[in-house]
Amino acid sequence: MRPVYFIAGGMTKFAKANQHKDFRAMVKEAFDYAMADVPNLTLDMIDGSVASYFSDHFTRQLKAASMVQDYLGLCPKPSRRHEGGGATGGLCFQTAWESVASGRMDICVAFGFETMSRVNTWKGNEFIALASDTNFDYPVGGFYTGYYAMMVRRHMHEFGTTVEQMAMVSVKNHGNALHNPWAQFPMKLTVEDVRNSEMVADPLTRLDICVMSDGAAVCILCSEDALEKYDLCDRPVKVTGIGCGTDTMRLADRPRHGVILLPHESPDDYRHLEYPGVHSFRAGRMAAKQAYEMAGITNPLEELDFVELHDAYTSSEIQTYEDLGLCKYGEGGRFIEEGHSTLTGKVPVNPSGGLLACGHPVGATGLMQAVMALWQLQGTIGKHCGGDATLQIPDARRGLIHSHAGTGTYVTCTILERGF
Amino acid sequence: MRPVYFIAGGMTKFAKANQHKDFRAMVKEAFDYAMADVPNLTLDMIDGSVASYFSDHFTRQLKAASMVQDYLGLCPKPSRRHEGGGATGGLCFQTAWESVASGRMDICVAFGFETMSRVNTWKGNEFIALASDTNFDYPVGGFYTGYYAMMVRRHMHEFGTTVEQMAMVSVKNHGNALHNPWAQFPMKLTVEDVRNSEMVADPLTRLDICVMSDGAAVCILCSEDALEKYDLCDRPVKVTGIGCGTDTMRLADRPRHGVILLPHESPDDYRHLEYPGVHSFRAGRMAAKQAYEMAGITNPLEELDFVELHDAYTSSEIQTYEDLGLCKYGEGGRFIEEGHSTLTGKVPVNPSGGLLACGHPVGATGLMQAVMALWQLQGTIGKHCGGDATLQIPDARRGLIHSHAGTGTYVTCTILERGF
């Protein structure tokens, strides 16, 4: 496989009500930021782009990505849009990788955006609910927080996971974001604050849940040839693992047996599980397995220096610790409680603040994670976070980014490593 | 570059009001048809899929592609959706190529679908109008047939193209479809019939314009390794050229100077053109240029045995003859009048009947073109068209498929060649 490098990234601050800003202007801001980081790269050297936004319903502008292409000055070069619910950004990054790995492009821009505040919250929630099965789940009032509440209820029943453990995820991520100027909701919280915030779907409170947001993010990927030929970047990051999994739309259709095993696991680890399909994400397992196999990772807890994962809910961060094999199924609650995922833990998870604190402008989110991971691996968190290097993982050499849609309908895992 | 082969395809009949059919069932029908053509291929050998549908507005089901993935039995394998207006199918095919060419997958399924009859025609037209600029063009009543009418008016003014020449495209394509059992509107027409049908946007009549449709199409691509290892297909078709171009959303923003030259053209060919950006599609030029360069085509008229192109309007078929370099700018009208694009002409264009006669279920259309092209190159048109081999181009060795969005916002060209 042709090596692919990730050389620059940019984003806007994620925020509610960027209504005054056109999505084009938001992407341009992120693009200019990325370009400024690789001064030897000029517009004419870019071969094309891949775009990421979630739903026509939010933009009420079809083919919105083509307007961004023009605004960035990339016409008449190739482009196309990718979508897969909450995993849209992760899928887009992987397609940019394919564009370069296939030899079709030498330099490819991945851009993502969302302008969710164009619609009111009620309407926005209705649109998001349309990403569940509109024949079976939506008509009876199904909505996303409800699905996640059901899943974590099973997790609590099966493994004794507690609401306090979930709250600890919120405390950690909002706290990390205090040092991330790009985040929407930096907050110093306590477990009590999280539990005392409004109940949305028992046991999930408002502070267990990420919010809609406006924002954009941009990643620039290139081939080894281009990297060397144009002397583009002295701290390139290499994409060493790509994984993606899918699952049924409806929870009720999930298989009840057959855990997908990660490279370091054996069938004996999970013989005792009654319903492995309900409290966990099969697609996440598949994505992790593929990415680990490609990157040669056999002990993720030891071999990953940090993880940026899709914590749309505090519960899904706990579930995802397990899906990624950072701990065994059922041990996710203890994993956060014992502090393993804090900034100074065994494997810092969501140093950026994650979706919970950064906000979740869907099409941009997965690319924002990639940008934060790039800066971690380049050792430039301080430079890009207004001089505050608190979030910098010392000597970070390998990280994982994880993007997730629906109730685990699409999940991506991508492994990034220092290439310098 | 890793060679990529196209080994099997299937589709549903394109039709209005497949309302009784779920989009999943439609794709499954097309998928089963494709799988039946490569009996050595089993579900477990497939590495993943790429999906294609146009707008959430038509399905009113977000992440619809993930439900198809499940229905085909492809969970938990990788998948993602691609979109780019009318070029959605063409973009999806090219991404499937990338997935294999990059080494990520050995066997990849591209599936596309649309269920446009889920909404009424008025609503459907409104949704399609949202694929124009919703700040500038849509609010003043801009709609697609109007934009195409403006473009062809300029073409007529500049080059003397006639409405009768446009009608000849409709007569040809609807006539070809008399031998294509998959087409929605096979019709024996005269130039008078076309001109006497209802005027939609002067000079375009109802029979100058394709219609909304329901349908699905599936393409299966594989690597050389997989092809040989599993003995998948004795008539594989090789993907030898991939091109994609983009342009501004608004016609008013198109550049007025600077024709993109194809490999066989010189600047002298077009020095006389006042407004090369208005009567033609810059993105189409870019797509053709890239595809020709990759496939080593220096004389498309001689080197292509047939073309399946995006004739959403009779006028755009004429414009596209020129963009593909089958003739010079301004000569497209004469090209059809002189019969060069008929079944027995120099380069048969739209032997399938094109969008005009097959219908245009957006996400499926570009893949339908690919399937028809596959069968042409395999020499199996008769087998797949109910025993009627009228449309078979004798000894077809190389063809081009062309997919087109908006007013030329995204355009793809893909070159397919016999690989046996």
Per the CB < 8 Å rule, is A99 touching B98?
yes
Give the residue among A109, A106, A110 at the shortest CA–CA distance from A222. A106
pLDDT digits over A7-58, tens only?
999 999 999 876 557 899 999 999 999 999 999 999 999 999 999 999 888 8
Per the CB < 8 Å rule, is B84 touching A82?
no
Tell me which long-range contacts B139-145 makes (C-beta under 8 A, separation of at least 24).
Answer: B143/B201, B144/B312, B144/B406, B144/B407, B145/B200, B145/B201, B145/B204, B145/B209, B145/B313
| Cα–chain center distance at B48 | 23
- For A201, phi then psi, to 5°, come to -145, 110
pLDDT digits over A343-391, tens only?
999 999 999 999 999 999 999 999 999 999 999 999 999 999 999 999 9
Classified as helix, coil or strand, A197 is coil
Touching check for A218 and chain B: CB below 8 Å? Answer: no
Task: Compute the radius of gyration of chain A from its Cα atoms.
Answer: 20
Task: Compute the radius of gyration of chain B from its Cα atoms.
Answer: 20
pLDDT value of residue B257: 74
Cβ neighbours of B303 (radius 10 Å): 17
Interface test with B, best of A102, A106, A115, A261 (most B CBs within 10 A): A102
Task: Give mean pLDDT in consecutive 10-residue pieces for chain A, a chain of 420 residues.
Answer: 96 81 92 98 98 88 95 98 96 98 98 89 82 86 92 94 98 98 97 98 98 95 98 98 96 84 90 73 96 98 98 98 96 98 98 98 97 98 98 98 96 97
Contacts B87 to A, Cβ<8 Å: 80
**Side chain identity at residue A254, one-letter code:** R
Chain B stretch 35-64, residues whose beta carbon is closer than 8 A to a beta carbon of chain A: 48, 54-57, 60-63
Tabulate helix, strand, coil % of chain B (nearest 5). Answer: 40, 20, 40
Classified as helix, coil or strand, B350 is coil
Q: Any bridge partners for residue A237, and if so which? A: A6, A418
pLDDT value of residue B162: 98
Residues of chain B with pLDDT under 50: none
Touching check for A403 and chain B: CB below 8 Å? Answer: no
Cβ neighbours of A82 (radius 10 Å): 31
User: What is the C-alpha to C-alpha distance for residues B101 and B294, in angstroms, rounded to an integer?
Assistant: 14
User: What is the C-alpha to C-alpha distance for residues A265 and A304, in angstroms, rounded to an integer?
Assistant: 16
What DSSP assignment string belongs to A122-164?
Answer: HHHHHHHHTTS-TTTTGGGT--HHHHHHHHHHHHHHHH---HH
Per the CB < 8 Å rule, is B283 touching A75?
yes
The one-character DSSP state at A387 is: T
Touching check for B83 and chain A: CB below 8 Å? Answer: yes
What angle in degrees, to the nearest 10, is found between the helix axes of B88-101 and B362-378?
Answer: 60
- Among the partner-chain residues B54, B70, B83, the one whose CB lies closest to the CB of A249 is B70
Touching check for B1 and chain A: CB below 8 Å? Answer: yes
- Among the partner-chain residues B57, B66, B406, the one whose CB lies closest to the CB of A66 is B406
Touching check for A197 and chain B: CB below 8 Å? Answer: no
Interface test with A, best of B1, B43, B66 (most A CBs within 10 A): B66
User: What is the C-alpha to C-alpha distance for residues A285 and A259, in angstroms, rounded to an integer?
Assistant: 8
| Cα–chain center distance at A191 | 24
Contacts B410 to A, Cβ<8 Å: 63, 66, 79-80
Residues ≥6 apart with Cβ < 8 Å to A233 = A5, A7, A8, A37, A38, A227
Which chain B residue is nearest to residue A246, measuring alpha carbons? Answer: B76
Touching check for A405 and chain B: CB below 8 Å? Answer: yes
Give the residue among A113, A97, A94 at the shortest CA–CA distance from A105. A97
Touching check for A82 and chain B: CB below 8 Å? Answer: yes
pLDDT value of residue A272: 75
How many contacts (CB atoms, under 8 Å) link A and B? Answer: 202
Chain B stretch 233-262, residues whose beta carbon is closer than 8 A to a beta carbon of chain A: 242-249, 253, 260
Residues ≥6 apart with Cβ < 8 Å to A72 = A27, A28, A31, A49, A109, A111
Tabulate helix, strand, coil % of chain A (nearest 5). Answer: 40, 20, 40
Contacts A89 to B, Cβ<8 Å: none
Per the CB < 8 Å rule, is B62 touching A260?
no
User: What is the C-alpha to C-alpha distance for residues B407 and A191, in angstroms, rounded to an integer?
Assistant: 54
User: What is the C-alpha to C-alpha distance for residues B60 and B66, in angstroms, rounded to an integer?
Assistant: 14
Residues ≥6 apart with Cβ < 8 Å to B289 = B243, B245, B260, B261, B262, B263
> pTM of the full predicted structure?
0.97
Touching check for A225 and chain B: CB below 8 Å? Answer: no
User: What is the C-alpha to C-alpha distance for residues B156 and A179, in angstroms, rounded to an integer?
Assistant: 62
Per the CB < 8 Å rule, is B130 touching A245?
no
- Among the partner-chain residues B67, B81, B134, the one whose CB lies closest to the CB of A249 is B67
Q: Any bridge partners for residue B263, and if so which? A: none
pLDDT value of residue A259: 86
